[in-house]
Amino acid sequence: EAVIHFAGSIVVPESVAQPLRYYANNVVASRALIEACVHAGVGAFIFSSTATVYAVEAKQPLSEDEPKAPISPYARSKLMTEWMLEDTSRAHGLRAMSLRYFNVAGADPQGRTGQSTPQATHLIKRAAQVALGRVPHLDIFGTDYPTPDGTGIRDYIHVSDLVAAHLLALDALRAGAESATYNVGYGRGLSVREVVRGVEAVIGRPLPVRESPRRAGDPPVLISDPSRIKSALNWQPRHDDLAEIVRSALEWERGLNA
């Protein structure tokens, strides 16, 4: 028996405005699920965590051992759940793996699944909506970060590679692996402006953008060191290409209202 826990509220600025909602949905509900797993004798648990648990001043690229100091209620709620799993693993033998997602993007290459939320805040999802004329412009939130071009830097990972990481974690737990925490990212950071240029290269025209203030709770840089998951689980990304990520996101977005 195994449980993969994906559920949760994930919008960082919303968590700053509504922290109690996020602690209720992400922490209290997770506690109930973990307790139910213990009572049911579930032996393996995989948790969707986040790279935003790391301290802003942590060394980039981020290893799993870098200091944790989340700056948003969303990120704190994820770290609290990681702690619950660590304690429960020691006390009750529930073996758990927490996967710290970096910036997930793209869609299933075969067009079966993708992100359907109309009001999504994810950069590549929003860029696809703008490219198809469904949103008038793409907001660049923050142009004064301490980065080369002033915009935030993130490690964008294709959703298919993230799925593969979950399957490997599940196989490892079923084979008797102990509890662990892993980063899931490519180890390559791209700024918002670099992503915009990547989208423009795919669509062959400029993307209308609007510079906006920083969003509350957004760290300036998040880049993964994926060495541990590659070594422990033999994770081998197959879609580490921005153009492929963008094309899959565009194809999925086209099909939503077809």
Residues 108 and 164 sit within 8 Å (Cβ to Cβ) = no
Tell me the longest C-alpha to C-alpha distance in the chain: 57
**Is 74 a residue of the active site?**
yes
Catalytic residue among 22, 23, 54, 74: 74
C-alpha distances in Å from residue 30, one per residue of 77, 83, 101, 237: 10, 11, 17, 29
Query: Cβ contacts of residue 165 below 8 Å, gap of 6+?
Result: 99, 182, 184, 229, 233, 235
Hey, what are 9's tokens?
Answer: 């509220």
How big is the chain by its Cα radius of gyration, in Å?
Answer: 18
Residues 86 and 106 sit within 8 Å (Cβ to Cβ) = no
Which residues are marked as active site?
A: 74
